[in-house]
Amino acid sequence: MSRLKTAVRLKLLETMFLSREGDRREGILFRQGQGWFQISSMGHEALIALSLHLRSSDYLFPHYRDRCLVMGRGVTTGELARVFYAKRDSSSGGRQLPGHFSSRKHNICSLGSPTGSNLLPACGAAWGMVLDGKDDVVMACVGDSGMRQGEFYEAYAFAVERNLPVIFVVEDNEYGISTCTTQSNPLRNGLFDMKRILQVNGRDIDDLHEASAKAIKQARSGHGPMVLWCELDRLGSHSSSDDHRIYRSAENLELIQSRDPVTVLARQLIEEKHLSEAKWEAMQETLTRQVEADYMEAAASNDPKPEDALEQLLGEPHGGLGDTMNQGCSDWRILDAVNETFRQALDQNRRYVFFGEDICDPMGGVFKLTNGLSTKYPDRVFNSPLAEATIVGVACGLAAYGYRPVFELQFIDLWVRPGTSW
Ligand X SMILES: Cc1ncc(C[n+]2csc(CCOP(=O)(O)OP(=O)(O)O)c2C)c(N)n1
- Where does this chain bind ligand X (CB under 6 A)? 65, 113-115, 143-146, 171, 173, 175-177, 234, 238
Minimum distance of ligand X from residue 309's CB (angstroms): 24
- Listed residue (192, 191, 198, 131) closest to 164, CA to CA: 131
Minimum distance of ligand X from residue 142's CB (angstroms): 6
Q: Which is nearer to ligand X, 40 or 212 (CB)?
A: 40
Q: Which is nearer to ligand X, 19 or 339 (CB)?
A: 19
Q: Are strands 138-143 and 197-201 parallel, antiparallel or unpaired?
A: unpaired
Residue of closest CB approach to ligand X: 143
Q: Which is nearer to ligand X, 71 or 275 (CB)?
A: 71
Decide: 410 and 387 in contact? Cβ < 8 Å: no
Distances 104 to 42, 61, 85, 92 between C-alpha atoms, Å: 25, 12, 19, 10
Q: Amino acid identity of 304? A: P
Distances 415 to 412, 419, 420, 421 between C-alpha atoms, Å: 8, 12, 10, 11
Q: Are strands 179-180 and 175-176 parallel, antiparallel or unpaired?
A: antiparallel
Minimum distance of ligand X from residue 83's CB (angstroms): 18
Minimum distance of ligand X from residue 117's CB (angstroms): 7
Q: Which is nearer to ligand X, 239 or 348 (CB)?
A: 239
Interaxial angle between packed helices 150-161 and 119-131, expressed in degrees from 0 to 180 and rounded to the nearest 10: 10
Q: Which is nearer to ligand X, 153 or 367 (CB)?
A: 153
Q: Which is nearer to ligand X, 64 or 403 (CB)?
A: 64
Tally DSSP H helices, then E strands, for the chain.
12, 10
Minimum distance of ligand X from residue 223's CB (angstroms): 27
Minimum distance of ligand X from residue 192's CB (angstroms): 17
Minimum distance of ligand X from residue 225's CB (angstroms): 19
Q: Which is nearer to ligand X, 94 or 146 (CB)?
A: 146
Decide: 59 and 109 in contact? Cβ < 8 Å: yes
Decide: 73 and 60 in contact? Cβ < 8 Å: yes
Minimum distance of ligand X from residue 166's CB (angstroms): 18
Minimum distance of ligand X from residue 175's CB (angstroms): 5
Kindly give the residue spans of alpha helices, DSSP state H, lying in 322-406. Answer: 334-348, 373-376, 388-401
Distances 213 to 101, 144, 217, 280 between C-alpha atoms, Å: 24, 22, 6, 29
- Taken as a whole, the chain contains a residue count of 422
CA torsion through residues 63, 56, 319, 92, sign: positive
- Kindly report whether the peptide bond that precedes residue 378 is cis, defined as omega within 30 degrees of 0: no
Minimum distance of ligand X from residue 146's CB (angstroms): 3
3-state secondary structure 73-105: HCCCHHHHHHHHCCCCCCCCCCCCCCCCCCECC
